[in-house]
Structure 1
């Protein structure tokens, strides 16, 4: 009797436990599995990954854009890949990139993108804050000279000061370019540059180099790698202290510049640089006691200064370095540019930006440098603010979106022999005109394009033409040309040779 009762009780308990387990399994399937399957099935095609980490273990620790491009060749122009907890949509052809540029739902940044979430920079902002700060930044930069003749005059003066420094024997070109290019963006931001031998200039250059060598665009995913995974494929933790220290040093310098501007006081709404213009807007905002939630605070100003200064220095210095390297590799284009200089400018005056209209070979060379160098092979991540589409592909809310500019620049449907360096591809009308096609987008496109594109174009033309006008460029003894590339957030020459800049005999050359 007792045994029967125990067996009955055990049977009932087992049934209860079994029912509970079945219920939990059904709940899990309904709550998590089915929605996950629906989401996966709605995404563009792409590779399978592993539980928790997705495809992260298969993304290389260096040159990640090559892995992104390799997957594009396999899965098509729009594909998806799971990286940690994020779904990344990669867009690799012009049709869909162009459409994405015009999609306002794709103007947002990942929510964990900023190193300072309470006061992100313009680069890191989304939504109304981004719109307000972008509008203000463009307004200030225009007022202090962006796109105006006085800016070109300042760049030309800076180049005049810079050129004699190339006479100092075998040189490492990239850091020299950083010092002079930094002065151009510094004039816009702070109203002054720095002497090349100023210890502060050298320190800022070293900070930029450290950030360039240590940062990675893909570190945004490292926080989604579970702690149980011992081998984090992004290795962000080992580099993070160095990155944070460099950012702090950079921010401290900008903080001092802000304090100097504040100490001067203001008697009117007139300003001469970005800091002055931002302080004026901050004061107006505080007086109006706006309730729209948009804040113009000193921390954001500092973050913007760091962003503008670093971006405005690194990109132009790197592009010019590539251009000089290609002149060495293909000296026939040095001669072509030199011929145009002799015909259009001569040797008695500095080049003007307006001269570019009559120098198609020079402009074609610059365009081809942009294309094949692919300095920014993939864009900074975008985030879908809501469910949207790219072509016929569904993009779920909060998915990240990446544009594969490297693929665009080497798409055989857009370019003939894309692996070949050939400036002639941009020449038209019997080589009398240089034409830049819409799918060459070195500064990105749409409303998230680089706000410094105008300054960059002026600098690239004036520096390149001024150098070729004055110097013959040669390899220093023992140096060799290498087009091997290193990548963290930009594609730079991995091994830049030492160079000699020999002043040209302008009457005999």
Structure 2
């Protein structure tokens, strides 16, 4: 009776939406109680959740990082919580992360990737970051070999970095007292370096397709809104059109990831088509894309099944580009911001540059070994900011007991790198910016710290670490060699928001402007910072 009245009084679209929500609710209840039965086992401790929603209402408070810091204080080295039907297990200590990802017993066990139907519908389990098993091993090996040939410590890569550095200096000089929003200029500079390695292509200033490609990758990495959590914790919702429509009406951009991947894959396909059209005249590869297509052609000639297909190539290009652009450019943004906030440290870096390199030539990779304070400054930037606070999600392909707790194959594993980098048991005064912590007390020599793990650890550690370290040194030293940085007065007013930064996969500083002034000859700064 009631249902018939509703049918008469409501538009058909509303009835469809209500029915869809009802079905989703029943499914969510079932998933919740199935999860509750599993939680009766020896689960890691964690905050109490809400029915159906899990701990989603607790995030963020005030930020995702702040919520995890609070939970670590309350519950310890291993913390579990739920987003909808999905349980997350957070490894909060260096010891737990190393045991899970590096030890002989667990290193392979924790090397899986998220088994979400939603994610698989986007990636098909391909690429390097999104794949696992033999597919992952084969393509990681291939990528490492090719990137060594076309990138890491190669003279051509240093030349490419120098070209971008010169362009940056020109832009800083032109901007003058108006200052520069470093977001776009640094992202483009780093993107051009990795683009030369992958595509043999350097974007011009008016390249709309490249700009759209950059914007799409940035939005997927830096966004921290509700839409990112829905497909992980509530996978059934994405299969019910009425629910998606309702969420859109509520202002949730539920298709943001799909939309951005369409842009990035489209750009990669354009590059693939252009390279394939010219491949007949290529005797040796000029970039990563050439190398992949030549390997594909060789395997096609053998008439055997292989994994070097075009979608694998698009996924690999997208992942390598993202990994090689956003984290590095934002690390440099943090470095320049901290140079403004700690001018005594900036002066000491510049004094070392003057003493070891001078002003007459660009910094080179070989200069690193003579510049301990600059390396210490870069390390402290990576520790203090932690660009990838939780790295990339891991998963156990099977149920396992770890540190006295039961970890399910459905659980998603997060490594709390930000927590490790701010752990008072590992670092003295962790909330203070102190590059000296990476210098030997007696000699002043650069002293790496094993607890600094900005690129992750274990078999899934970032394969672009060598290139990233080269870029960080050359860009930071090259910028501060010729310019001094100070925060624009308008940005000083918003300093707290700038320092909090974004709350997504990548922890980027908030929008700000920096004034770059051409350096005047100056004396060497004293040893205090």
Per the TM alignment, residue 248 of structure 1 is displaced from its structure 2 partner at its CA by 1.6
Structure 1 residues 37, 118: CA separation in 2 closer, same or farther (over 3 Å shift)?
A: closer
Gaps of 5+ in 2: 1-31, 525-529
Contact 1:86–1:399, Cα closer than 8 Å, also in 2: yes
Task: Give the match's secondary structure for 1:123.
Answer: coil
Task: Give the match's secondary structure for 1:247.
Answer: helix
C-alpha offsets along residues 66-119 of structure 1, whole Å, 9 cap, x if unaligned? 222321211110122233222221110011101111220111111123452436
Structure 1 residues 100, 147: CA separation in 2 closer, same or farther (over 3 Å shift)?
A: farther
The residue number in structure 2 matching 1:253 is 267
The residue number in structure 2 matching 1:488 is 504
CA distance in 2, matches of 1:246, 1:37: 37
The residue number in structure 1 matching 2:519 is 504
Greater mean deviation of Cα atoms: 98-107 or 159-168: 159-168
Structure 1 residues 430, 378: CA separation in 2 closer, same or farther (over 3 Å shift)?
A: same
Structure 1 residues 323, 235: CA separation in 2 closer, same or farther (over 3 Å shift)?
A: farther
Per the TM alignment, residue 235 of structure 1 is displaced from its structure 2 partner at its CA by 11
Superposition pairs of residues 60-71 of structure 1, within 5 angstroms = 60=60, 63-71=63-71
The residue number in structure 2 matching 1:357 is 369
Task: Give the match's secondary structure for 1:168.
Answer: helix
CA distance in 2, matches of 1:62, 1:300: 38
Per the TM alignment, residue 268 of structure 1 is displaced from its structure 2 partner at its CA by 6.1
Structure 1 residues 167, 141: CA separation in 2 closer, same or farther (over 3 Å shift)?
A: same
Contact 1:110–1:382, Cα closer than 8 Å, also in 2: yes
Q: Which of 160, 183, 188 is matched with 2:192 structurally?
A: 183
Per the TM alignment, residue 157 of structure 1 is displaced from its structure 2 partner at its CA by 2.9
The residue number in structure 1 matching 2:220 is 211
Structure 1 residues 81, 40: CA separation in 2 closer, same or farther (over 3 Å shift)?
A: farther
Q: Which of 288, 302, 325 is matched with 1:274 structurally?
A: 288
The residue number in structure 2 matching 1:18 is none
The residue number in structure 2 matching 1:3 is none
Query: Is the aligned partner of 1:123 residue 2:129?
Result: yes
Task: Give the match's secondary structure for 1:434.
Answer: coil
Per the TM alignment, residue 61 of structure 1 is displaced from its structure 2 partner at its CA by 8.2
Per the TM alignment, residue 366 of structure 1 is displaced from its structure 2 partner at its CA by 0.5
CA distance in 2, matches of 1:488, 1:152: 31
Greater mean deviation of Cα atoms: 191-200 or 257-266: 191-200
Q: Which of 153, 156, 168 is matched with 1:150 structurally?
A: 156
Superposition pairs of residues 22-171 of structure 1, within 5 angstroms = 37=37, 40-60=40-60, 63-102=63-102, 103-112=107-116, 113-114=119-120, 116-118=122-124, 120-169=126-175, 170-171=179-180
Gaps of 5+ in 1: 1-31
Superposition pairs of residues 425-440 of structure 1, within 5 angstroms = 425-440=437-452
Structure 1 residues 133, 161: CA separation in 2 closer, same or farther (over 3 Å shift)?
A: same
The residue number in structure 2 matching 1:223 is 234
Task: Give the match's secondary structure for 2:40.
Answer: helix
Greater mean deviation of Cα atoms: 480-489 or 233-242: 233-242
CA distance in 2, matches of 1:99, 1:448: 14
CA distance in 1, matches of 2:436, 2:158: 28
Contact 1:378–1:406, Cα closer than 8 Å, also in 2: yes
Per the TM alignment, residue 327 of structure 1 is displaced from its structure 2 partner at its CA by 0.5
CA distance in 2, matches of 1:458, 1:392: 41
Per the TM alignment, residue 218 of structure 1 is displaced from its structure 2 partner at its CA by 3.7
Greater mean deviation of Cα atoms: 345-354 or 109-118: 109-118
Per the TM alignment, residue 446 of structure 1 is displaced from its structure 2 partner at its CA by 0.9
Query: Is the aligned partner of 1:238 residue 2:252?
Result: yes
Task: Give the match's secondary structure for 1:465.
Answer: helix
CA distance in 2, matches of 1:341, 1:355: 9
Using structure 1 for the length normalisation, give the TM-score: 0.86
Greater mean deviation of Cα atoms: 35-44 or 406-415: 35-44
The residue number in structure 1 matching 2:474 is 462
Task: Give the match's secondary structure for 2:429.
Answer: coil
Per the TM alignment, residue 33 of structure 1 is displaced from its structure 2 partner at its CA by 8.2
Task: Give the match's secondary structure for 1:252.
Answer: helix
Per the TM alignment, residue 429 of structure 1 is displaced from its structure 2 partner at its CA by 4.9
Greater mean deviation of Cα atoms: 266-275 or 447-456: 266-275
Per the TM alignment, residue 410 of structure 1 is displaced from its structure 2 partner at its CA by 0.8
CA distance in 2, matches of 1:148, 1:114: 35
Greater mean deviation of Cα atoms: 315-324 or 164-173: 164-173
The residue number in structure 1 matching 2:15 is none
Contact 1:158–1:180, Cα closer than 8 Å, also in 2: yes
Count of equivalent residues? 475
CA distance in 1, matches of 2:113, 2:62: 23
Query: Is the aligned partner of 1:305 residue 2:304?
Result: no
CA RMSD of aligned residues (A): 2.9
Greater mean deviation of Cα atoms: 299-308 or 91-100: 299-308
Per the TM alignment, residue 267 of structure 1 is displaced from its structure 2 partner at its CA by 5.1
Structure 1 residues 44, 233: CA separation in 2 closer, same or farther (over 3 Å shift)?
A: farther
C-alpha offsets along residues 35-66 of structure 1, whole Å, 9 cap, x if unaligned? 96465322222233233333233333873232
Contact 1:99–1:391, Cα closer than 8 Å, also in 2: no
Per the TM alignment, residue 257 of structure 1 is displaced from its structure 2 partner at its CA by 0.7
The residue number in structure 2 matching 1:263 is 277
Using structure 2 for the length normalisation, give the TM-score: 0.82
Structure 1 residues 33, 174: CA separation in 2 closer, same or farther (over 3 Å shift)?
A: closer
Contact 1:53–1:224, Cα closer than 8 Å, also in 2: no
C-alpha offsets along residues 297-325 of structure 1, whole Å, 9 cap, x if unaligned? 11121122222222321111111111001
Q: Which of 372, 378, 381 is matched with 2:393 structurally?
A: 381
CA distance in 2, matches of 1:168, 1:367: 30
CA distance in 2, matches of 1:488, 1:237: 19
Q: Which of 374, 379, 402 is matched with 1:390 structurally?
A: 402
Contact 1:121–1:307, Cα closer than 8 Å, also in 2: yes
Per the TM alignment, residue 344 of structure 1 is displaced from its structure 2 partner at its CA by 0.5
